[in-house]
Amino acid sequence: MIAVKGNQKNLYKQIKLNTQQTLPISIDISREKRSDRLTTRTVSVFDDLNGISGEWAGLACLVKVERIGTRAGKPYQQLAYYISSKCLDAAQFAQGIRGHWGIENRLHWVKDVVLDEDRSRIRLGNAPANLSIIRSLVIAILRYHGYSSMTTALRSIAHDLQKILLLIEIQKV
């Protein structure tokens, strides 16, 4: 399954039109309430590929995800499209998409926001990739030791070399 975004303008338009003109073969609706958020997710699966360019060989179905809700009391609506080479039911696609967002939120968001990766000025050679690996390793080590919040973890170990060394001490098996 691959997300289709605005950089695939023709495919995006084709999917949008197709999903407006045909009926889904499967629908999954879920609601979630978290602190200041209330979200209703509707995942719809379409197997009618009329109007979709033939260059997408192996395409089996289209997936539309609509998120409607409120954040901090303000309404929002998001629409996302996916293509898949395998046709599953909407609940299975919903689970896969949510799983992907779990990775996005637990790793990429932490690297971007907490560890400020996007503002790094290191841009030459292998240095950016190497530092990204080091950031991922730091996150993995902290999660292994039970920290769910990276901000809390970093505050806890900051300026305490002994704590840092205890976290990376190799355990004998």
> Tokens 């990276």 identify what position?
150
What's the whole-number mean pLDDT along residues 26-33? 93
Cα–Cα separations (whole angstroms), residue 70 to 30, 108, 125: 15, 24, 43
**Which amino acid is present at 38?**
L
Find all residues with CB under 8 Å of 6, minimum gap 6, and list them: 12
CB-count exposure of residue 135 (10 Å: 0-12, 13-18, 19+): buried
Q: Annotate 54-92 with b (16+ C-beta within 10 A) or e (fewer).
A: eeeeebebbbbbeeebeeeeeeeeeeebbbbeebbebee
Note the pTM of the prediction, 2 decimals: 0.63
- Summarised one tens digit per residue, pLDDT across range 85-144 is 999 999 999 988 876 665 556 666 788 778 888 888 888 999 989 998 988 888 888 988
**Per-residue model confidence as pLDDT tens digits over 129-163:** 999 898 888 888 898 899 888 889 989 998 898 99
Structure tokens at 160: 């305490």
Q: Report the pLDDT value the prediction gives residue 16, as an integer from 0 to 100.
A: 94
Q: What is the DSSP letter of 47?
A: -
Spatial CA neighbour of 76 closest among 45, 36, 105, 43: 36
